[in-house]
Amino acid sequence: MATEAQAQWVLTATGRSPTNIAVIKYWGKRDEALILPVNDSISVTLDPDHLSATTTVAASPAFPSDRMWLNGKEIALSGGRFQSCLREIRKRARDVEDEKRGIKIKKEDWEKLHVHIASYNNFPTAAGLASSAAGFACLVFTLGKLMNVNEDYGELSSIARQGSGSACRSIYGGFVKWCMGKSDDGSDSMAVQLVDESHWDDLVIIIAVVSSKQKETSSTSGMRDTVETSPLLQYRAQTVVPGRILKMEEAIKNRDFESFARLTCADSNQFHAVCLDTSPPIFYMNDTSHRIISLVEKWNHSEGTPQVAYTFDAGPNAVLIARNRKTAALLLQRLLYCFPPQENNLDRCV
């Protein structure tokens, strides 16, 4: 492969991927190893300037093993999910040539070349802000870039899915649907873009960080328990979500904020109901999350039509989607009034 003179080269690639927030939630797998979901889901991808992962991958004949650092701390790459992503990308690697530096990597060399991966999140890891989504999407995208992989985004999304389910949706911007697929090998379980980020650019997303602590129950183990114990999950996946997906696609296509907000809030609430229906029950939201829900519900009710949608993932932080900048400014005022940023947070509302 490499001559003595070449042995010191290092080839790098860098990429950035935003996180995404589901408005119709993914919760529950029908296949744990391949990460195949029990229902379709829909998400909105955030602006990468605000919440994203940045990853640099490097390959060199001088590296004796694959290694990874997350936010500067080395983490084990032995997990099946990292290994699946690395394996799937390596399989699709192609020749790479850098004439100026005299680097020539043949397709088959990638099997023996080791990689070093450094990834940074610009937001709290595992606080229920979908950091694994941005992380795995970025890992797959950047490895693909390094190894000159020529797959389309659908194929990359199905590789990212094997790192973390929600990661498949972060391959695209705008509104994205993860089609659960039917096949047992997962080949048709991938994300598609519904509309790009310019389609509905009035929307403003505010994330109220209620706690930046690491969540107690990971999504992976939480949804495993739900699949095993919740009778409500079957009803949700088979009866409720298919109809909601169609309505949500329609609402997004027509920029119909009223339907969008109603569906988003209802689906977040049902996801947390399914968590409560799990044995033992899983509590991701806390009192502050509940107070934020009340604040938004009361405001929406008093206006007669929804102004803001809320959605909560596997943690207490609120993701609030305002219909436009003016409503977002009013929302911030209300939040700051009810939750003043001071030590003795007065209980002024709800």
Name which of 220 and 288 has its Cβ closer to ligand DP6: 220
Minimum Å distance from CB 132 to ligand DP6?
5
Q: Does 317 sit near ligand DP6 (CB under 6 A)?
A: no
180 binds ligand DP6 (CB under 6 A): no
271-310 positions binding ligand DP6, by CB under 6 A: none
Binding residue (CB under 6 A) for ligand DP6 from 220, 229, 269, 288: 220
Site for ligand DP6 in 4-23 (CB under 6 A): 22
Stretch that binds ligand DP6, among 72-80, 104-112, 158-166, 259-267 (CB under 6 A): 158-166
Of 184, 229, 159, 179, give the one whose Cα is nearest residue 24: 179
Does 84 interact with ligand DP6 (rule: CB under 6 A)?
no
Residue selected from 84, 166, 230, 317 as contacting ligand DP6 according to rule CB under 6 A = 166
Nearer to ligand DP6, 26 or 339 (CB): 26
Cβ-Cβ contacts under 8 Å for 51 (sequence gap 6 or more): 18, 19, 122, 123, 129, 134, 207
Nearer Cβ to ligand DP6 (129/261) = 129
Binding test (CB under 6 A) with ligand DP6, winner from 170, 219, 230, 264: 219
Of the candidate residues 15, 40, 313, 320, the single one contacting ligand DP6 (CB under 6 A): 313
Q: Report the site for ligand DP6 in 13-72 (rule: CB under 6 A).
A: 22, 25-27, 35, 41
Question: Which residue from 164, 189, 264, 307 is in contact with ligand DP6, where contact means CB under 6 A?
Answer: 164
User: Is 314 an interacting residue with respect to ligand DP6 (CB under 6 A)?
Assistant: yes
Longest dimension (CA), the chain: 74
Site residues, ligand DP6 (CB under 6 A)? 22, 25-27, 35, 41, 130, 132, 164-166, 219-220, 313-314
